[in-house]
Amino acid sequence: MNIKAKLLGAAALVAVALPGHAIADTTDKRIALSNNYAGNSWRQAMLESWEKVGSKAVSDGIVAAADAFTTSENQATEQAAQIQNMILQGYDAIVINAASPTALNGAVKEACDAGIIVVSFDGIVTEPCAWRIAVDFKEMGRQQVEYLASRLPDGGNLLEIRGLAGVFVDDEIHAGIEQGVSENASFKIVGSVHGDWAQDVSQKAVAGILPSLPEIVGVVTQGGDGYGAAQAIKAAGRDVPVIVMGNRQDEMKWWAEARDADGYETLSLSIAPGVGTLAFWVAQQIFDGAEVPKDLTVPFLKVTQDTLDETLEATPEGSVANVEYSQADAKAVISDAN
């Protein structure tokens, strides 16, 4: 079974026709992606998936445009201005990966008031007029500690690598990790750094904090940081602890090599970058008359010791384990949520 089948199966999704689904013509609809950040492999894979799926939808005559825009800085004020420009340019829908869950709400409300469909994903917004697509990031954080508890019953000290400060995803995964630690009192977070979901940033941050840390038995992460953490810990002459990975090709390759060399075991989990293509199709389905709940939850993609080789083989060098969504998949996700 391939990665996409596993991910869709985790949500018990079956592609079915939506009851009472009105068929509308969406060929003249223009959809824009507002992205706040592109500085890591996950975001690059997300943009590549959007371009692949969006350009095909345009060439197939399903929509008129599927343009992507990324701000030069991860600043909510800049992204809000970007959204306001999209309103002026007359886009019919704006799909957002947001710099902040709240700071864009004013611009989002302006878009809604102008009759524009707004769908946020990954970094979601809290403005009630918008739709939201996310995984249960808090549960993703909690499951990391639960996994470590299964591997390390005596507990110990943990290092936490966080993502981009102030972003919804970072806050939710962190809250889940805190919950996991509270449920497994034998573990203690002894250090925390922000790795910005990027290998190079994480490596520098971990290298900077290691001299002040006692022995650590595990590293809890958010994605894009596992390989950097491993390199920093090895460079410091320490034994590499159990590092929870985030589905990036470089860290999965390192994991496979460490497994083959000395039996290294861990777990990897993250949201698939292709979730942006689900947001694209959700916007199209809203135009098409589907009744879509304001909040949709999709499963995160998990890689285990047993599925590592299969997933690594399917993941391009420098990229992230991924699944892209089709229109039929979007219909199934919506139907499952209704």
- Over range 293-311, report the average pLDDT: 95
70-118 pLDDT, tens digit per residue, is 998 889 999 999 999 999 999 999 999 999 999 999 999 999 999 999 9
91 vs 30: CA distance, rounded Å? 5
pLDDT tier at 4, thresholds 50, 70, 90? low
Give the C-alpha separation, 195 to 200, whole Å. 8
CA-nearest of 301, 237, 290, 238 to 268 is: 301
| H or E segment to which residue 275 belongs | helix 275-287
Distance between CA 148 and CA 276 in Å, rounded? Answer: 30
Structural domains in the chain, sorted by start: 3-135+272-299+316-337 (3.40.50.2300), 137-270 (3.40.50.2300)
pLDDT for res 186: 97
For residue 21, pLDDT beyond 50: no
Report how far residue 264's alpha carbon sits from residue 241's, in angstroms, rounded to the nearest whole number: 9
pTM for this structure? 0.85
